């Protein structure tokens, strides 16, 4: 085998000769994901991913692909926060199942790490996934610094990470919720939740939107987005702070729309008019899946069950907006007992674990 590893050229448009390598890299990513999960629901397609590379004002991206002749047999991605003071880069690696154990993943990782170092990133963070069927492999278990979960050391992703000097810093519980036929149940739960609120909780009002946040909420919504990087449990991972303002909120909305994703959002508004917390559901095009992305209630506003309120309201909106969608997927730190309790009460069940690794 003659192996060639090189950066992936990013085209301006898809469906052109210049886009062929990018499209092959996207397909290789989907193939690698499918080998883990048994489906491609968690993979971005080319129209969804291309805008993320074309607009890298806030998040830098570099992709590498391994080629055997004209076939893309593996890929590595490097992403990094562009805010001042950022020190970390996140790396993911995937190799076609029939090409593993030939050193391709190691070479891809070497290229990705070299790029991260070249842009001044001192902390390298990686990610691997373990489906629920793989959680019970026999043998030694690996435990993160926080939480109660563990993964088998023999899992292919875990074995690859530890062999290359990465340590397990955090486990995220990947949960799924089948929403088919449950719209009435969510609506009833929301009504009961609203009726049970005390005087303080009732002083917060709900504001929902699709794709574009109201202009008057942008400044305080940016504060809430920035808090996701600092307030969420981090385990043993050194996550960078993120600089958010109204322009970045609008830029992220534009990227989602450019990639064909619909975003359903709910915010809890405090009596002073500021965003006290928010939640987002992302609906990719041509899919039955929905992704529960950011959910946060800011510190001064916790203790009033706003997290449950936000999620219930958005699930009701999902049933009204896209009743054909079947499943919602979400990732939460294994030590985030409060958010996990909300998910369990809503009916989410464990579908797997995602491991976060760090070097040094």
What per-residue confidence (pLDDT) applies to 5?
A: 97
Contacts of 317 (CB under 8 A, 6+ apart): 208, 264, 266, 281
In this predicted structure, what is the pLDDT of residue 1? 60
Sign of CA dihedral 148, 128, 174, 309: positive
pLDDT digits (tens, 9 = 90+) for 29-40: 999 999 999 999
Does residue 4 sit in helix, strand or coil? strand
Per-residue pLDDT tens over the stretch 110-147: 999 999 999 999 999 999 999 999 999 999 999 999 99
**Strands 205-210 vs 167-178: parallel, antiparallel or unpaired:** unpaired
> What is the pLDDT, as a whole number, of residue 143?
96
Taking Cα atoms as reference points, which of 229, 232, 295 lies closest to residue 268? 295
Could you tell me how many residues make up the chain?
A: 360
What torsion, rounded to 10 degrees, do the Cα atoms 179, 183, 188, 189 define?
Answer: 30
Give the pTM: 0.95
End-to-end CA distance of the chain: 32
3-state class of 12 per DSSP?
A: coil
C-beta contacts of 159-162 below 8 A and 24+ residues apart: 160/93, 160/105, 160/128, 161/126, 161/128, 161/355, 161/357
Asked if residue 322 has a cis previous peptide bond (ω within 30° of 0), the answer is: no
The whole-angstrom separation of Cα 179 and Cα 36 is 24
Instruction: State the Rg of the chain over Cα.
Output: 21
Per-residue pLDDT at 229: 87
Q: What is the pLDDT of residue 231?
A: 86
Residue segments in the chain with a per-residue pLDDT below the cut of 50: none
């Amino acid at each position: 085998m003659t192996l060639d590893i090189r950066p992936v050229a990013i085209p301006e448009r898809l469906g052109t000769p210049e886009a062929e390598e990018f499209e092959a890299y996207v397909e290789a990513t989907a193939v690698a994901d499918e080998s883990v999960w048994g489906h491609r629901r968690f993979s971005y397609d080319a129209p969804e991913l291309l805008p993320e590379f074309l607009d890298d004002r806030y998040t830098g991206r570099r992709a590498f692909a391994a080629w055997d002749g004209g076939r893309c047999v593996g890929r590595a991605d490097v992403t990094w926060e562009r805010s001042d003071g950022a020190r970390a880069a996140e790396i993911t690696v995937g190799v076609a199942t029939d090409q593993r154990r030939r050193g391709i993943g190691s070479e891809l990782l070497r290229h990705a790490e070299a790029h991260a170092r070249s842009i001044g990133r001192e902390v390298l963070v990686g990610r691997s996934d373990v489906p629920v069927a793989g959680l019970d492999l026999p043998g030694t278990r690996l435990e993160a610094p926080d939480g109660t979960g563990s993964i088998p050391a023999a899992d292919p992703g875990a074995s690859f990470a530890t062999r290359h000097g990465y340590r397990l810093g955090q486990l995220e519980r990947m949960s799924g919720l089948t929403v088919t036929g449950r719209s009435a149940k969510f609506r009833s739960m929301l009504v009961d939740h609203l009726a049970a609120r005390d005087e303080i909780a009732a002083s917060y009002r709900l504001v929902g939107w699709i794709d574009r946040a109201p202009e008057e909420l942008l400044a305080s919504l940016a504060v809430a987005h920035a808090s996701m990087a600092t307030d969420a449990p981090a385990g043993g991972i050194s996550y960078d702070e993120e600089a958010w303002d109204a322009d970045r909120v609008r830029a992220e909305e534009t990227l989602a729309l450019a990639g064909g994703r619909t975003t359903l959002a709910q915010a809890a508004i405090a009596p002073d008019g500021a965003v006290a917390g928010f939640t987002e559901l992302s609906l990719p095009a041509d899919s039955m899946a929905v992704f529960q992305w950011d959910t946060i209630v800011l510190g001064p506003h916790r203790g009033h069950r706003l997290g449950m309120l936000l999620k219930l309201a958005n699930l009701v909106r999902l049933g009204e907006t896209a009743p054909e969608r079947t499943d919602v997927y979400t990732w939460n730190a294994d030590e985030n007992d409060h958010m996990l309790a909300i998910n369990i009460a809503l009916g989410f069940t464990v579908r797997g674990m995602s491991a976060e690794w760090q070097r040094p």
